[in-house]
Amino acid sequence: MLRSVAASGAAAASASALHDFGPLAPYVGRPNTTDVFVNGAHNVWIDRGGGLEPVGDVGMTEADLRALAVRLISLGGRHIDEATPCVDVRLTGGVRVHAVLPPISANGTLLSIRVPSREPFGLAELDFAGFFNDVPRERIQSLIDRRENVLISGASGAGKTTFLGAFLAAASPTERIVAIEDVAELRVGHPHFVSLEARQANLEGAGGYGLPTLVREALRMRPDRLVVGECRGAEIRELLSALNTGHDGGAGTLHANSLRDVPSRLEALGALAGLDASAIARQAVSAIGAVLHVDRVDGRRRLTHLGRLELDANDRLTIAEIE
């Protein structure tokens, strides 16, 4: 089990921080917990690394759950109400909370709580947990040593961020790693790792810093490795441009259901950045040395495929699996 090594994710939060979760505290604090999901007041689920487990009713009313959501979002420095019914925050200890209020949610208030590990995983811990059963760990270490730019793909909850943190931790301790994240989640056991976190604009529309802006700022910080925690929009243009101008050893993650879906996802993101399919294809093939796809196999997180981006005869992006 990915989280059976070292301390549990729940221990990342102190006892006082756990108290803030009210009736959910025993589940957020349960050993090996990676996620807690609340689908309305009477429907709670947890994930301890082996797939979702139902908890059921924890004694909350809808009013209790809404008040809990408002309190947690407030602790993260933001506000949630009918005018802003969907909010994502990071709490003390790196716990990430996403809340959705009715009427956007038809099932009552929704909470998605992501609990990080106390200590970041390394490649050795992932190997011990069976993460590299399909793709040998040595091949990944070779990519790190050669300073290949990599893209880690996978579905939500497949382990992309955990793997990226372990990947970066294996880089030379003399290298400076600068990461850009929408919500800071990366935990990297490396002596020279810094992270920039995006910020939404205030109620007056001022003060916002999006990922494309932060990528440009990161380039001024002389990174040896440039990392985008998740490529989900126009920042793909800045990332690929940076990786094509001498910034090797970089990395990013991408939501994709399978390895073969990666080219179409990149094309879609390129369109958001004003790049046509041919332009994004040429940029991606030149910038990215390998695509690492992670998935859940029988409930366990695994690195399942290693691929390489290629151009077809029509300059469209394709991907070939590396055996």
Mean pLDDT (whole number) for 138-160? 94
CA distance 95 to 93: 6
Predicted pLDDT at 300 = 85
- State yes or no: pLDDT of 26 exceeds 80: yes
pTM of the model: 0.79
**Among 67-76, 98-107, 197-206, 276-285, which is the least confidently predicted range?**
197-206
Listed in sequence order, the residues at least 6 apart from 263 whose beta carbon sits closer than 8 Å to its beta carbon are 281, 309, 316, 317, 318, 319
Quick one: pLDDT band at residue 245, thresholds 50, 70, 90? confident
User: Strands across the sheet with 290-297, in order?
Assistant: 193-197, 177-181, 225-228, 251-255, 150-154, 290-297, 300-311, 317-321
Quick one: pLDDT band at residue 19, thresholds 50, 70, 90? confident
- Work out the number of other CB atoms within 10 angstroms of the CB of residue 323: 4
Q: Where in the chain is the domain with CATH 3.40.50.300?
A: 123-321
- State yes or no: pLDDT of 13 exceeds 50: no
Fold adopted by 15-114: Beta-Lactamase (3.30.450)
Tell me the average pLDDT of the chain.
Answer: 88
CATH number of 123-321: 3.40.50.300
Quick one: pLDDT band at residue 152, thresholds 50, 70, 90? very high
Residue 125 parent element (H or E): helix 123-128
Quick one: pLDDT band at residue 11, thresholds 50, 70, 90? very low
Q: Where in the chain is the domain with CATH 3.30.450.90?
A: 15-114
